C-alpha cells in the first residue's frame, strides 16, 4: 500500500531497493516493476550496511515523532497518520542532515530530473489475487472467501479465473 501510494505521489523510480524478505520477491512486485521499467534490487543477505539508512530513519521516528505522540492524548489511527504526515512535511523533510548538509527535501529535489507518472489502476492489476473456480450450474455464481459473486449464466459449469483485491470490499 505504501509503495503504491509513493508511486502515485512521486512517480516511478529507475530502481527500487528492498529488503530480502519473502514479500519483496512476490511475482506481483516483480511484474509491476517490469511493467514500470524499474530495476528491482534486493539487499544481500546478512548485509547490515544496506539496511542502515532504514534503521536510522526508524530511530529518528522513534526519538522525535513517537515520543511526541506518547506525550499527548491518545489518537485514532486516522489522526496518527495525519500527525505523522505533518511531522514528515514540517520537521523531518526540512531538517538539515548532518552528513549531506542538506534537508531530505532539497536532496530529493536535486536528484530528480523528471517524474515518470504511474497509472495506479494499471499497476493495481498486478497485485490482484487470482483463483480458479467452477461456476455453479444452478445459481451461476462462484464463492471466494465466503462471499458469492454472480457470473454470466452462459458460464455455468465452466472453470473461470477470478481476480480480486484481497483487501478491498
Average pLDDT, the chain: 87
pLDDT digits (tens, 9 = 90+) for 72-83: 887 788 888 888
Q: Could you tell me which of 1, 39, 7 has the C-alpha nearest to residue 23?
A: 1
The β-bridge relationship of strands 15-18 and 39-42 is: parallel
Q: Could you tell me which of 138, 151, 144, 152 has the C-alpha nearest to residue 169?
A: 144
Determine contact, residues 40/13, Cβ cutoff 8 Å: no
Q: What does residue 131 show for φ and ψ, rounded to 5 degrees?
A: -140, 145
Determine contact, residues 35/123, Cβ cutoff 8 Å: yes
pLDDT at 134 over 90: yes
pLDDT digits (tens, 9 = 90+) for 1-39: 788 888 888 889 899 998 888 989 998 899 999 999 999
pLDDT at 168 over 90: no
Amino acid at each position: 500500500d505504501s509503495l503504491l501510494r509513493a508511486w502515485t505521489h512521486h512517480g516511478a523510480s529507475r530502481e527500487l531497493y528492498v529488503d530480502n524478505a519473502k514479500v519483496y520477491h512476490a511475482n506481483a512486485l516483480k511484474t509491476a516493476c517490469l511493467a514500470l521499467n524499474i530495476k528491482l534490487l534486493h539487499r544481500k543477505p546478512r548485509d547490515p550496511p544496506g539496511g542502515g539508512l532504514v534503521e536510522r530513519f526508524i530511530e529518528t521516528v522513534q526519538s522525535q515523532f513517537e515520543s511526541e505522540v506518547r506525550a499527548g492524548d491518545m489518537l485514532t489511527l486516522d489522526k496518527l497518520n495525519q500527525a505523522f504526515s505533518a511531522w514528515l512535511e514540517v520537521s523531518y523533510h526540512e531538517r538539515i542532515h548532518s552528513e549531506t548538509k542538506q534537508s531530505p527535501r532539497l536532496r530529493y529535489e536535486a536528484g530528480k530530473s523528471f517524474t515518470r507518472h504511474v497509472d495506479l489502476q494499471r499497476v493495481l492489476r498486478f497485485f490482484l489475487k487470482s483463483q480458479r473456480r467452477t461456476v455453479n450450474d444452478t445459481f451461476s455464481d462462484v464463492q471466494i472467501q465466503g462471499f458469492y459473486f454472480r457470473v454470466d449464466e452462459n458460464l455455468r459449469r465452466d472453470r473461470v479465473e477470478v481476480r480480486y483485491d484481497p483487501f478491498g470490499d
